[in-house]
Amino acid sequence: GQQVMQIPQYQHVQEGEDFTTYCNSSTTLSNIQWYKQRPGGHPVFLIQLVKSGEVKKQKRLTFQFGEAKKNSSLHITATQTTDVGTYFCAAHMRFGAGTRLTVKP
């Protein structure tokens, strides 16, 4: 099945810094989902993007879907320690490799 490539694999930031993770596909996606998995926990659905060029916000989180619907990003503004975890994008039930975010207080 189609795959989504996700980068970076790891990101360590100082609390208050911004964070971005990117997903790319070689094929056009009908939609893309984002999940967060806390250490020791299970993935939790964050959002789904469907429309070309779509931008959605959830408090400090901004999700974008590219115009060509081949890439997507998740941006966190002013990270907090509660943001720690692994962020996954997923398309058609297949997950990207995930970006593990650690935040130094």
Binding site for another protein (CB under 8 A): 1, 31, 33, 41-45, 48, 88, 90, 92-98, 100
Nearest-CA neighbor of 74 among 91, 104, 37, 49? 49
* Joined tokens for residue 50: 């469907």
Task: State which residue, 18 or 45, has the beta carbon closest to another protein.
Answer: 45
Task: State which residue, 61 or 90, has the beta carbon closest to another protein.
Answer: 90
Q: Minimum distance between the CB of residue 63 and another protein, rounded to whole angstroms? A: 14
Give residues with Cβ within 8 angstroms of 54, minimum separation 6. Answer: 63, 64, 65
